[in-house]
Amino acid sequence: MSMSLYQFLLDKRDQIISASEERTVALAALRPNSTQLRSGLPIFFDQLVDVLKKQLSSVGTQDECEISDSAGAHGKELLRLGYTLTHVVHSYGAMCQAITEVASQTKATVTALEFHLLNRCLDIAIAGAVTEFESLRSLENKNREVVHLGAIAHELRNALNRARISFQMLSKGIVGLGGSTSKVLERSLDDMDVLINRSLSEVRLRVDSEINEEYFTIIEIVSQLVVTAEIEAGHRQQTITVEVDPEIGVITDRHLIIGAIGNLLQNALKFTKLKGNIWIVGKRVGDEIAIEVRDQCGGIPPSKIGGLFKPFVQQDTDRSGLGLGLLISKQAIEKCGGTLSVHNSANGCVFTAKLPAREAPSEPKPGPVV
Amino acid sequence: MPTLPAPNLPSKSIMVIDDNFDMLHLGRVVLEMEGFRVITASSGTQALDILSKIQEPNLVLLDMKMSDMSGHEFLKRLEIQAPTILDGMPVVFYSGMESVPDSRASGFIRKAGDIKSFIASVHGFIGRASPIEALSNLALE
């Protein structure tokens, strides 16, 4: 059948657009759709038809700009609806496949020039959509970083505020030393320490390629973390139960593991109801050490579990989750050669960090007596 | 020096709402030292419950961000619970933020870590000192 690609596209418009939509819907899975998103590919299709109609040997500058601009709007909409960069590229690929599929079914022929123009239009559209998608995503990430920095500063200021008020009360003799206000001062300084350590953990995770390996037992770090956590638990009338095999240990970066488990513990305290229970369990499972932090948060809807370790995801309105705690924990554990997972239990969540088990290095043997 | 409540006058009451227990403790100590009666609530939900059962306090100091609801959410729920309560009971945000968006709150005291300016601001809002006097106290800091 001898028919120009232009005429073929004009005749088969609905069939091709419908086939493209089918493919993009399959790619989108359960992601949301919108009127604007649905109009994206038809707009491109009509632009493509326009280009072919002109029967030029290349795509004109004005057509290029128009295709790029409308593809940019399509890319922007895909980002807004939570699609990935892969979807952006595949959505145009879907249309290309639909065109070739319908052409094959109807035995239509496509000349080399038409094929060149089709590919060029696709290139322009994909480049326009990807550029806009990436540019906006980068801006969103920057904004999130700023919000995150602001949240850390806000938390630090709150702790500093409490420390300053406590210090003034103590230094002016309004309250006596060694009482509850001294404890507030101590806790405020501890809070600042936690925030600074968490920020430094983030920095280390981003810039340090090496980890400082040393042997330590799990009970060592858990005991250290529980001392601070029990103060907060006391306020919330929560109970922390430690069930850690004192013999188990690992050879890895102590500070990264303290940061990771500390974040999990803070998370458990924050989301467990008042008077609830938190458990920290450490045990050997085959060749691995499993550290479990169990809480009574009421559980996480299955649809949200997948997003739990994504940046800036907060499952509740509690402000103290700066949106990165669980992600930092996961990255830290993985950097140490382990894994971090979460599952629902009867009335809460269980976060499980697994690390390769290691024996304590043997003591150096005494030399021969001379 | 701490000031004492004026003789023969019932002391005024202030409710402090904050999900940080240490902040509640400090607020209580500082405000009681000034002669106020202090009621504390560690969540928006608890504060709504208390306000439904007691006589309205003379001032409410409200944290902007709490674990169960924001300060704005609290104000909305309070107005649903008691539609005219904000006409006679000033609610002031007490927050570490630089500023707060417009709302039905009567004002904003920044958590700046200075007891004298905090007390001066509280007096300003509660009306024991005129706003001008409170501002002059602030200017002396």
Pick from A162, A168, A319: which is nearest to B22 by CB? A162
- Residue B9: per-residue pLDDT: 54
- Residue B131: per-residue pLDDT: 41
Tell me whether residues A165 and B115 touch, CB distance under 8 A. Answer: yes
Whole-Å CA distances, A108 to A9, A101, A105? 10, 10, 8
Q: Residue A1 in contact with residue A95, Cβ under 8 Å?
A: no
Helices A112-171 and B115-126 cross at an angle (nearest 10°) of: 90
Nearest-CA residue of chain B relative to A150? B97
For residue range A27-56, list pLDDT tens digits in order.
766 666 777 667 777 888 888 888 887 777
- Residue A315: per-residue pLDDT: 46
> What is the rounded CA–CA span in Å between residue B73 and residue B62?
11
What type of residue sits at position A318?
Answer: D
- C-alpha torsion A177→A181→A184→A189, nearest 10: -40
**pLDDT: is A309 or B7 the higher one?**
A309
DSSP for A293-348? EE--S----HHHHTTTTSTT--SSS-TT--S-HHHHHHHHHHHTT-EEEEEE-SSS
Does residue A196 have a pLDDT over 70?
A: yes
Q: Is A233 on the interface with B (CB under 8 A)?
A: no
What ipTM did this prediction achieve?
Answer: 0.75
Chain A contact set for B67 (CB, 8 A): 270, 316-320
Pick from B20, B22, B96: which is nearest to A157 by CB? B96
Q: Is A29 on the interface with B (CB under 8 A)?
A: no
The least confident of A243-252, A357-366, B67-76 is A357-366
Chain A contact set for B70 (CB, 8 A): 317
Mean pLDDT of B127-135: 46
> What is the rounded CA–CA span in Å between residue A121 and residue B60?
63
Tell me whether residues A162 and B30 touch, CB distance under 8 A. Answer: no
Does residue B88 have a pLDDT over 80?
A: yes
Tell me whether residues B113 and A161 touch, CB distance under 8 A. Answer: yes
Whole-Å CA distances, A206 to A150, A203, B88? 19, 5, 53
- Residue A351: per-residue pLDDT: 95
DSSP conformational letter for A369: P
The 3-state DSSP class for residue A123 equals helix
Q: Residue B106 in contact with residue B73, Cβ under 8 Å?
A: no
What type of residue sits at position A242?
Answer: V
- Residue B3: per-residue pLDDT: 43
- Residue A311: per-residue pLDDT: 60
Pick from B21, B65, B112: which is nearest to A161 by CB? B112
For residue range A212-260, list pLDDT tens digits in order.
889 999 999 999 889 878 887 887 889 999 999 999 999 999 888 988 9
Angle in degrees, CA A124, A125, A128, rounded to 5: 85
Token couple for A123: 């290139």
Positive or negative, the CA dihedral A48, A51, A56, A58 is negative
**CA neighbor of A174 nearest in space, from B140, B128, B26, B37:** B26
Chain A contact set for B96 (CB, 8 A): 154, 157-158, 161
The 3-state DSSP class for residue A210 equals coil
Q: Residue A308 in contact with residue A315, Cβ under 8 Å?
A: yes
> What is the rounded CA–CA span in Å between residue B96 and residue A161?
8
Nearest-CA residue of chain B relative to A154? B96
Percent of residues, chain B, with pLDDT higher than 70 = 83
**CA neighbor of B60 nearest in space, from B75, B49, B45, B70:** B75
Chain A contact set for B26 (CB, 8 A): 162, 165-166, 169, 181, 184
The 3-state DSSP class for residue A366 equals coil
Q: In a mutagenesis test of the B interface, which of A165, A228, A320 is the best target, namely the one with the most B β-carbons within 10 Å?
A: A165
> What is the rounded CA–CA span in Å between residue A355 and residue A112?
58
Mean pLDDT of A7-24: 85
Does residue A314 have a pLDDT over 80?
A: no
> What is the rounded CA–CA span in Å between residue B66 and residue B50?
17
Tell me whether residues A174 and B97 touch, CB distance under 8 A. Answer: no
Q: Residue A313 in contact with residue A259, Cβ under 8 Å?
A: no
DSSP for chain B? -PPPPPTTSPPPEEEEE-S-HHHHHHHHHHHHHTT-EEEEESSHHHHHHHHTTSPPPSEEEE-SB-SS-BHHHHHHHHHHHSTTHHHHS-EEEEESSS-----SSSEEEE--S-HHHHHHHHHHHHTSS-HHHHHHHHHH-
Mean pLDDT of B102-116: 87
- Residue B58: per-residue pLDDT: 93
- Residue A367: per-residue pLDDT: 59
Q: What is the pTM of this model?
A: 0.64
Q: Which residues pair with A342 in a beta bridge?
A: A351
Mean pLDDT of chain B: 82
Q: Is A272 on the interface with B (CB under 8 A)?
A: no
State the nearest Cα–Cα gap between B66 and chain A, in angstroms.
Answer: 6
Pick from B96, B114, B115: which is nearest to A158 by CB? B96
- Residue B2: per-residue pLDDT: 41
Pick from A154, A184, A270: which is nearest to B22 by CB? A184
